[in-house]
A and B are shown apart, each in its own frame.
Chain A
Amino acid sequence: MAEKSIQWFKFASPARFYDLTGRLVWGFGILAAVLFVVGLYMGFVLAPPDYQQGNSYRIIFIHVPSAWMAMFLYVVMAIYAAVGLIWRIKTAEIMAKAIAPTGALMAFLALWTGAVWGKPTWGAFWVWDARLTSSLILFFMYLGFIALHAAIEDRQRAANASAVLALVGIINVPIIYFSVHWWNTLHQGATIKATSAPSMAAIMFFTVIVMVFAYWMYSIAAVLARARLELLEREKHAAWVSERLNLPRTKETPHA
């Protein structure tokens, strides 16, 4: 048992993490590109128009995966932040910090595509209903997390402070998810539910699923690439960095 936990922590060692993720970034990036091409072809060519909205419904192939990723990435970010806060694992702190910009991008995409779709469909770009408002708060939580990291010079204190912010904000995620269920909202309820068959045609559903996988692969690749850079930056004086980048040995005293 003790040996097993040591093995797990090995993956958290910066050098091991750097080596392992180097190949993963490429793998996930290529998968993302392939899935995006397939998903967008399915969405724009194979899927039929909707019986009421015509072609404007096609925005869901971008909107729904973005919104899901924005919520999911927030949960992952908060978990990494908590692990960093409690167990002081540097790689976890770096991962939390690396997820935030991708999460913010996803939240922005969900809001933006929703507004563009809302104008022709609902008749308004924006309404202050519970689903839209809580999604806007999610976007601001990401921005706050990024800003707090940037505002505090000391890395450890920055990581701790933003971890607390991330953990407080996690309350918002179930509120977003259940908002259309708990309150009357202009935003419609969930089309794809865990408990029943999706209320959409099969080809539309499969397109959403392909796009969701594309978003997953892209997010993993982007986050890992960002985490690797952050790791190099933090450990620039460590021996493993000079070894891997073929740098000449610096004469500076190693930094803790």
Chain B
Amino acid sequence: MKQRTKRLVAVLVGLGGVSLAVALTLNAFRDNLVFFFSPSQVLAQEAPLDRAFRIGGLVEDGSVQREGIRVSFNVTDTAAVVPVVFDGILPDLFREGQGVVAVGRLLEGGVFHANQVLAKHDETYMPPEAAEAIKQAQREQARVMPPEEL
């Protein structure tokens, strides 16, 4: 084998080995790489209930209630619902039907006590007129779409 062929093989074998190692590592840590758990996962006891974790989903329509600075709302993934309470300042994009990620603990009684609420933004960008036109069309069709498709 020529010297440069040897080097080529060494590089390819090395890359293959490193890729395999990384793939196995990521697979092993998969649970810890999850940034948030969905309400379904929380109700199925898949989230670490003994320590702080993040819960992510959509703010259920009509569930936001404010008492002073305390805000309570429901987080849903359309299959399950977890009630959340939070004392603090909400991000600008927080609104009903929007994605949120809340950091905190699950207390007795199944209420999630958040100490931070982040707005999760989707990948859709459009002018306000377009958004209004879509809403208009939906009202006319009187058809309810799942919130994540809005």
Interface residues, chain A, CB within 8 Å of chain B? 48-53, 57, 60, 82, 85-88, 120-124, 127-130, 164, 167-168, 170-171, 175, 183-186, 188-191, 199-201, 204
Contact = CB atoms under 8 A, between A and B. Distances in A.
A186 B123 CA distance: 11
Contacts of A190: 123
A85 B124 CA distance: 43
A124 B116 contact: yes
A167 B101 contact: no
Contact of B118 (A48, A130, A186, A199): A186
A85 B8 CA distance: 8
14 contacts: A48-B128, A51-B126, A53-B121, A57-B125, A85-B7, A86-B8, A124-B118, A183-B30, A183-B35, A184-B38, A190-B123, A191-B123, A191-B124, A201-B127
A122 B127 contact: no
Interface of B: 4, 7-8, 11, 14-15, 18-19, 22, 26, 30, 33-38, 56, 89-94, 98, 101, 116-132
Nearest to B56: A184
B101 to A, nearest CB: 6
Given A52-B131, A120-B91, A199-B125, 5 more contacts: A49-B128, A52-B121, A171-B18, A200-B125, A200-B126
Given A48-B127, A123-B116, A184-B34, A86 B4 contact: yes
Nearest to A192: B123
A50 B120 contact: no
Contacts of B125: 50, 53, 57, 60, 191, 199-201, 204
A123 B34 contact: no
A167 B127 contact: no
Contacts of B124: 191, 199-200
B123 A121 contact: no
Secondary structure at the A interface, as helix, strand, loop or mixed, is loop
Contacts of B35: 127-130, 183-186
Contacts, number: 114
A188 B121 contact: yes
Contacts of A51: 126-128, 130-132
Given A123-B118, A183-B35, A167 B130 contact: no
Nearest to A201: B126
A121 to B, nearest CB: 6
A215 to B, nearest CB: 19
A57 B128 CA distance: 13
Contact of A123 (B19, B119, B130): B119
A86 B10 CA distance: 9
Contacts of B129: 48
Contacts of A168: 14, 18
Question: Which one of B11, B22, B117, B121 has the highest number of Cβ atoms from chain A below 10 Å of its Cβ?
Answer: B121
Contacts of B98: 52
Contacts of A175: 22, 26
Given A49-B128, A87-B4, A127-B35, A186 B120 contact: yes
Nearest to B117: A123
